[in-house]
Amino acid sequence: MSLDLNPVSVSDYRELARKRLPTQLFDYIDGGSYAEATLGDNVAAFGRLKLRQRVLRDVSAIDTGTAIFGERWKIPAALAPVGFAGMYARRGEVQAAKAAESFGVPFTLSTVGICSIEEVAKATSAPFWFQLYVIKDRGYARALMQRAHEAGCPVLVFTVDLAVLGARYRDTRNGMNVAMSLGKRLKVAADFARRVHWLRDVALGGKPLDFGNLREAVPDARGFGEFGMWVAQNLDPAMTWKDLEWVRANWPGKIVIKGVMDAEDARMAMAEVAPEGIVVSNHGGRQLDGTPATLDALPAIREAVGDATTVLLDGGIRSGLDIVKAVAQGADACLLGRAWAFALAARGEAGVKAMLGTMRSEMNVAMALTGHTKVSEIGRETIAG
């Protein structure tokens, strides 16, 4: 009962999301690829890293804010692109974007969001970021970038670790995008039907439940399966660093390359594209299982690029303490994915804003007890051992 009344931690929101969402949707958020070893290690890596506690320092005035791309963020964390978010709460991308704006951090809209670029722009006043996949249909990719630019998006997050789709076994077991027997379909339907809150909030929410940014690409789609088929068919395994010159030529704003896990790739990114930012990311453990945790890969990548670009990190961040650890290991800021998706599913816009407030409070404690009053003071010496 206390959890339902007053969720606090990301794990609290996760449990509420598990209760509210149909199993198929919860496992889509919660799961990873294959045996989910990398998914677990992303979280475990933060637990292995210990903070160096310091005492008797003046920490009476702590500032958790930071400046990224000339914008002031209340904490060094933004909301990562999360596909399908409008299936977790009514018009979920809009609710999350409004929460991020109200709190004071950026929101990133996924290519495969339920709400379109235009819908999110109409509902908010702060600029949000847009995420784009590597897709074969260059004409449509160009059109998406143009729409994002016209909507005022200052940053394009270009995801490069989706040359092929990783095998997500939970999704296969739950019948997502695979043929199911009549018995299995009935079981899935019964699971959806018993989630009364979700039915009222999402299924009966009024507006169409489709991929808002892809309506023009698949105008005759009769369900998510046909949208998903278009996306799968348009992933481009032939794309190389040279092709990113085309992205640079067609995007007038800042470019952040998401999915870098190797120091050599980070150096190539700087040589070939010189992006304004890179995201150390293994797609939340949803692509190649058995890769290092992002926190473990971060220091070498930071060393490879130095101060030539902004380095962001995602994967496994579940608290404000984790944000402090990421900054200590070399990140300028973090991207939160599952954390906000769970909060959205549990409590909508209010849940996302409350979760961000909790992370800020946790950062405040961590900074105070490691002897720091500014994010810029956090460094390798913040880590014990």
CB 43 within 8 Å of CB 316: yes
DSSP 90-148: TTHHHHHHHHHHHHTS-BEE-TT-SS-HHHHHHH-SS--EEEEE-BS-HHHHHHHHHHH
* pLDDT at 258 (0 to 100): 98
Helix (H) or strand (E) segment spanning residue 158: strand 155-159
* pLDDT at 172 (0 to 100): 87
* pLDDT at 57 (0 to 100): 95
* pLDDT at 1 (0 to 100): 45
**Higher local confidence (pLDDT), 224 or 205:** 205
Considering the candidates 149, 197, 283, 372, report the single residue annotated as catalytic.
283
Q: Which residue has the tokens 């475990």?
A: 44
Whole-number average pLDDT of the chain: 93
| Residue-wise pLDDT tens digits, 19-48 | 999 999 999 999 999 999 999 999 999 999
Range of the domain at 172: 2-382
**Rounded to whole angstroms, how far apart are CA atoms 263 and 278?**
11
**Higher local confidence (pLDDT), 367 or 209:** 367
Fill in the DSSP letter of residue 202.
I
Res. 2 pLDDT band, cuts 50 70 90 = low
**Rounded to whole angstroms, how far apart are CA atoms 109 and 130?**
5
| Residue-wise pLDDT tens digits, 84-124 | 999 999 999 999 999 999 999 999 999 999 999 999 999 99
Structural tokens at position 281: 């990311």
pTM: 0.95
Res. 132 pLDDT band, cuts 50 70 90 = very high
Task: Give the CATH number, domain containing residue 223.
Answer: 3.20.20.70
Listing from the earlier edge strand, what are the strands of the sheet with 77-79?
A: 77-79, 333-336, 310-314, 277-280, 254-260, 155-159, 129-133, 108-109
User: CB count, 10 Å around CB of 9?
Assistant: 16
% of residues, the chain, pLDDT over 70: 97
Res. 145 pLDDT band, cuts 50 70 90 = very high
The total number of structural domains in the chain stands at 1
**Is 197 one of the catalytic residues?**
no
Encoded amino acid at 348, one letter: G
